[in-house]
Amino acid sequence: MTFADCLKTAVEGGELKPEDARRLEKDFKRFRDQFANNSAATADSEAKRALAELLKADSAHQKRKAKLAVSSAKRIAADVMSYKNPKGEQDVAAAAQDLLEHFGTAPYSSVEGRRKAIVGMAHARMEDALYHFRRSALAGDLARHNKADLDNVLREALGENTGDASAKHFAKVWEDTHEWLRRRFNAAGGAIGKLERWGLPQHHDARALRKAGLVAWKENIRPLLDLSRMKHPLTGKTVDAGELDEILDGIWLNVTTDGWSKREPSRQVFGKGALANQRADHRFLIFRDADSWLAYQRDFGGGGDIFAAMMGHINGMAKDIAAMEVLGPNPGATIEWLKQIVRKQAMMKTAGQKSAFAGDALRAPDLANAAERKIDSLWGSIRGTLETPVNGKWASGMAATRSLITASVLGSAAVSSFSDIGTTMVARQFSGIGAKGALPDLVKAFGKTTRREAVAAGLILDNAMHVFHAQARYVGTLDGPGWASFLADRVLTFSGLTPWTQAGRHAFGLAFMRTAAENAGKSFDALPDLLKSTFARYGLRAADWDRMRRIPMHDMGQGTMILRPQEIAERLDDRLAERFLEMIQGETEYAIPNGSNRSKIMLVDQNRPGTFLGEVLRSFAQFKSFGAVFIVLHGRRIHGMIAGNETRKAAAYAGSLLISTTLFGGLSLQLKGMAQGRDPQDMVDPAFWGAAILQGGGLGIYGDFLF
């Protein structure tokens, strides 16, 4: 019986799906062609052997993913079912949402928290490269320092010897970073083969690929590739010309159809498939040299920005790794499973049975519907699908308009942000690091040395993370045409808001690490109560602290010691280091509210850009993102204290927040007025203090509108 007959019999017997049979037959013919010079019997035998090796490797990978999925499901179920809300009740709906994003309200890692921690650790690895290629103070991303050196870095990364020692060093730094990310991705269930002299990821512009067409695209890319170095991600064997042709067909179809070429319409909710099965395409294609990579990026990748390609790869890998580590190899399937858990618990409560669903039994189905919708919205925001335009031209035009409005009205936003001193003092006190020294720490954080120490400690460098997709505190994400985003970004930078925000976040993070180092001599039980409570909120226990406090501290200079995640990772393990960093970054949001997925969906829900309602909501919410995140963070914290019968504590926290932000909000109003040539306002006038409350209490520029 021939191989084709065997496949036919298996399909007819229901042992094999028709699409799998077609794939196997195609692989068999391809392997057989490799041995065409041998006898027919030998060719068949060798083809079967090669196919068997491929299937064995694939089977081993599937088994490993299955084991990871099972262990992830057990861990998630335990976390969700043991979760307690501030009232002390089980609440699976809140637990499921906190699994995606939280700021100290759950004792386990969230997807978004893990993502930020991974990005921070990647930035720490590349700190000297980030500084060497830092943005120009005048032209931003358009004119980076030492930008000409990037070409040599690319050449070194692709194995060319440029004779440039600096480029060789930065290429090695990049290689170490992307290899670290590759190993993390694979450990979470992925299958990305190790490639020597890989270089950089390539971006595929779907519109450019569609415009060229499949045949022309393949004719353009084929001579740019180094076939001898392209390996199968599972078997590690070099691909041949025939296999390359099929792979290029698959890549073109997948990019131009947004993944629809690989799936059939069904009743199931799906994305592009398990994350563990993605990312390989981006590392599979290896270009012959730097000129080939640049040529492809110019014609089919939307440009040849080498630095942006590096940062984009870090961001994308961090997002996928975090999702897989927290939710398992197929996070999309886990999301559906979580929604079913929420639904089941709600229905059990409705039936009068024991349930882990918080809420009135009669309203449980409606509350479950709302929880499922919020889970979908949060997941869509984290994955970026909520920002995928439905109508690209309209979305781009509206985004450009909003960027121009931002540039025209937020020139004095830095003065408005003086209230950050108030929120920082309150957040420092609540987290246990003390309000004393908040202002001197912030001033020091503007210095080059302190900024570099902060990045090396894992505190994210925002302008490297976004690169022409800048995050603006008062308006959310700056998107749309490059020129409009650039203009708004430059206004926010020149006004001082962007440097102020970055310095404030770095100052808080370093202060937390310094406080941890100062208390390293104490056992967990002997720690100050507020600091111990902060550790507990993020799931860091006595055993974790005892391990961390015994490692050597890092000297920032002048005798200032800090406990950094880097030393924890090197001497203990990555996960503990990232949980520590996740805690610091989470508490930083309370000090310098900057943005969250929860606040984003509160404003635009599931309405995507490029739709009428989506654009209306984004325009309406343009200057409300800061107020929204302020409410989501501090409002939820105060609500939690009240729900937990800590009314006095809630009142003290709310009072401290109101007084401090109002005072600094009033200062902002007076300074802006004097800068515009007006006399100071009468501080006896109640209207002034109303404006100060708005100015300092998370509603930003709306305080100005009272005058």
pLDDT of residue 42: 76
> Which contiguous run of DSSP H or E holds residue 449?
helix 448-456
Residue 414's pLDDT is 61
Structure tokens at 380: 């869509």
Average pLDDT over residues 323-340: 93
pLDDT, residue 471, reads 47
* pLDDT of 620: 60
Tokens matching residue 676: 């515009």
Enumerate residues 6+ apart whose C-beta is below 8 A from 261.
250, 253, 254
Read off the pLDDT band of 308 (50, 70, 90). Answer: confident
Token pair, residue 559, equals: 């005798």
Tokens 């739709």 sit at which residue? 611
Do the Cβ atoms of 448 and 691 come closer than 8 Å? no
H-helix or E-strand spanning residue 65: helix 40-82
Question: Of 114-128, 259-273, 377-391, which has the strongest mean pLDDT?
Answer: 114-128
Identity of the highest mean pLDDT range in 264-273, 309-318, 504-513: 504-513
- Around Cβ 176, how many Cβ atoms within 10 Å? 12
Q: Residue 471's closest CA among 498, 506, 452?
A: 498
For the record, the structure tokens of 174 come out as: 């990049």
Token pair 């950050």 in the structure block, residue: 420
The pLDDT > 90 percentage for the chain reads: 38
| Site of tokens 């699976």 | 92
Backbone torsions φ then ψ of 638, nearest 5 degrees: -65, -45
- Report residue 170's pLDDT band, with 50, 70 and 90 as the boundaries: very high
Instruction: Say yes or no to pLDDT of 529 above 90.
Output: yes
- Kindly indicate the confidence band of residue 206, based on its pLDDT and cuts at 50, 70 and 90: confident
What average pLDDT does the segment 501-516 reach? 95
| Per-residue confidence band for 467, with pLDDT thresholds at 50, 70 and 90 | low
**Residues 280, 342 contacting (CB under 8 angstroms):** no
180/279: higher pLDDT: 180
The chain-wide mean pLDDT, for the chain, equals: 82
Write out the two tokens for 224.
């740019």
Q: Lowest-confidence range among 55-64, 157-166, 469-478?
A: 469-478
d(CA 422, CA 661) in angstroms, rounded, equals: 5
pLDDT of residue 362: 79
Q: Look at residue 304 and tell me whether its pLDDT is greater than 80.
A: no
* pLDDT tens digits for range 5-29: 676 776 777 766 777 677 777 777 7
What value does the mean pLDDT take over residues 438-447?
92
pLDDT at res. 391: 62
**Closest alpha carbon to 282 in 298, 296, 261, 263:** 296
Cα–Cα distances in Å, from 390 out to 14, 225, 332, 620?
40, 34, 21, 19
CA neighbor of 129 nearest in space, from 306, 317, 316 = 306
Nearest residue to 606 via CA among 395, 335, 270, 380: 380
Closest CA to 112 of 578, 698, 618, 541: 578
pTM of the model: 0.84
Would the pLDDT of 172 be above 70? yes
| Mean per-residue pLDDT, 376-391 | 80
* 571 has a pLDDT exceeding 80: yes
Mean pLDDT across 272-300: 71
**Residue 702: predicted pLDDT:** 46
Q: What value does the mean pLDDT take over residues 444-469?
A: 85
